[in-house]
Amino acid sequence: MSQKRYAVIGHPIGHTMSPFIHKRLFEMRDIDADYGVYDIPTEDLIGKIQELKSLDGFNITIPHKQAIIPFLKQMDQKASLYQSVNTVKNNGCLEGYTTDPDGFLSALGQAGIPLKGRVVILGTGGVARTIAYEATMAGCFVMLAVRRKSLSHAASLSGALRNDVHNGDTETCRLDCLSGHIDLLINATPVGMYPQIDEMPVGREILENTEYVFDAVYNPMETKLLKTARECGCKVLGGLSMLVWQAAASHKIWDGSQYTYDEIAALCEETKQELLRVFPG
């Protein structure tokens, strides 16, 4: 049997840990597969579609989670509802899925962070949309906090949540107007991601009135946001465990593989050590 070929696409993507994680997942099930990296700027995506069709499947990160949709033959229910795709299976045609919900919910559960109360989500991209839907369906009050130029996108997402989720309770606000008690603050933007590690999406004054903070950024493992939140007494969680859990869910789609809690916990620890080795700063 010929070697299977997979990859991750995004831009910029020099920080990615996906190859390490996916290669380990393939090894754990004795599957002969290669996993590469495609750094594709937004304007180049359409020109790369034929090349991507030569793969058995691929993962998608910023900024292509919504841009890939017109090139797919079909999508699963959640990807269609959330209008966000992070996993593609080539089954003779390109099929789109989202495993971000699996990753997000499993990571929170593993860390003992409850998804309830007033949840503030920073951003309106693919991960933000997924998390916003999951939080709304869990009965949370969801506040979408964004920069002024993203207010129209936030309003559109808020309207979709109210339309798609029965009794959906959601509002939008500008980041500089954000205030009040927050049960769970979620950074679903790339702010603070390597190499811009000195950036933070909100100020300390917001964190001082927050219980839990989840940062979807995983490189660095402790972003400035998480470090400051910890200093303010918040319980915090970085994005690495979400990345590993959603990667495992991708393998279930690609080849039917399933992994135990202990296997994923061990892989999270391996990935942390590899991240520290590759990015020692």
Nearest to 97 by CA among 108, 113, 86: 86
Report the C-alpha gap between 270 and 106 in whole angstroms: 18
Q: Residues annotated as binding site?
A: 16-18, 61, 86, 100, 216, 218, 239, 246
Sheet of strand 74-75, all strands in order from the earlier edge strand to the far edge: 33-39, 4-10, 57-60, 87-90, 94-97, 74-75
Q: What is the DSSP letter of 2?
A: P
- In whole angstroms, how large is the CA radius of gyration of the chain? 18
Cis peptide before 101 (omega within 30 of 0): no
User: Residue 153 CB: number of other CB atoms within 10 A?
Assistant: 17
Nearest to 171 by CA among 130, 140, 143: 143
Q: Residues annotated as binding site for NADP(+)?
A: 216, 239
Strands 87-90 and 57-60: antiparallel
**Which tokens sit at 120?**
């503030």
Q: Which of 23, 53, 65, 227 is catalytic?
A: 65
Q: Is 65 marked active-site?
A: yes
Coil, strand, or helix at residue 172? strand
Report the C-alpha gap between 201 and 39 in whole angstroms: 25
Q: Residues annotated as binding site for shikimate?
A: 16-18, 61, 86, 100, 218, 246
Q: What is the 3-state secondary structure (H, E, C) of 159-171?
A: HHHHHHCCCCEEE
User: Residue 104 CB: number of other CB atoms within 10 A?
Assistant: 25
**Which tokens sit at 152?**
């129209």
Q: Are 279 and 222 in contact (CB under 8 A)?
A: no
Active site residue ranges: 65
